[in-house]
Amino acid sequence: MTTVSAPAPVGPLLREWRTRRRVSQLDLSLEAGISARHLSFLETGRSRPSREMVLRLAETLEVPPREQNGLLVAAGFAPVYGERTLDDPDLAPFSAGIDRVLAAYEPYPGLVVDRGWNILRANAGVARLTDGVAPHLLERPNALRLSLHPEGLAPRILNLGEWRHHVLTGLAREAASSGSAVLRELHDELAAYPGGTAHPAGPQEVAVTLRVASDAGPLAFVTMVTTFGTALDLTAAELSIEAFLPADAATAAALAGGGG
What is the pLDDT, as a whole number, of residue 203?
52
**Number of Cβ within a 10 Å radius of residue 39:** 24
Edge-to-edge, what's the strand order for the sheet holding 210-212?
A: 119-122, 110-113, 240-246, 219-227, 210-212
Residue pLDDT, tens place only, 126-138: 998 998 999 999 9
Secondary element (H or E) of residue 166: helix 160-178
Q: Model pTM? A: 0.83
Residue type, 211: R
**Mean of the pLDDT values across residues 106-115?**
96
Q: Enumerate the domain spans of the chain.
A: 10-74, 89-256
Positive or negative, the Cα torsion across 111, 112, 115, 120? negative
Secondary element (H or E) of residue 72: helix 65-74
Residue pLDDT, tens place only, 213-243: 999 899 999 999 988 767 778 888 899 999 9
Selected residue with higher pLDDT from 154 and 84 = 154
**Percent of the chain at pLDDT above 90?**
76
Beta strands in the chain (DSSP E): 110-113, 119-122, 210-212, 219-227, 240-246
pLDDT at 156 over 60: yes
Confidence of residue 258 (pLDDT cuts 50, 70, 90): low
**Number of Cβ within a 10 Å radius of residue 81:** 18
Contacts 24+ apart (CB under 8 A), 59-62: 60/28, 60/31, 60/32, 61/17, 61/18, 61/21, 61/23, 61/28, 62/21, 62/177
Nearest CA among 74, 87, 78 for reference residue 7: 74
What is the pLDDT, as a whole number, of residue 56?
97
The Cα–Cα gap between 126 and 124 comes to 5
Span 10-74: which CATH code? Answer: 1.10.260.40
CATH fold group of domain 89-256: Beta-Lactamase (3.30.450)
Confidence of residue 2 (pLDDT cuts 50, 70, 90): very low
Residue pLDDT, tens place only, 167-221: 999 999 999 988 899 999 999 999 999 988 887 665 545 678 999 999 989 999 9
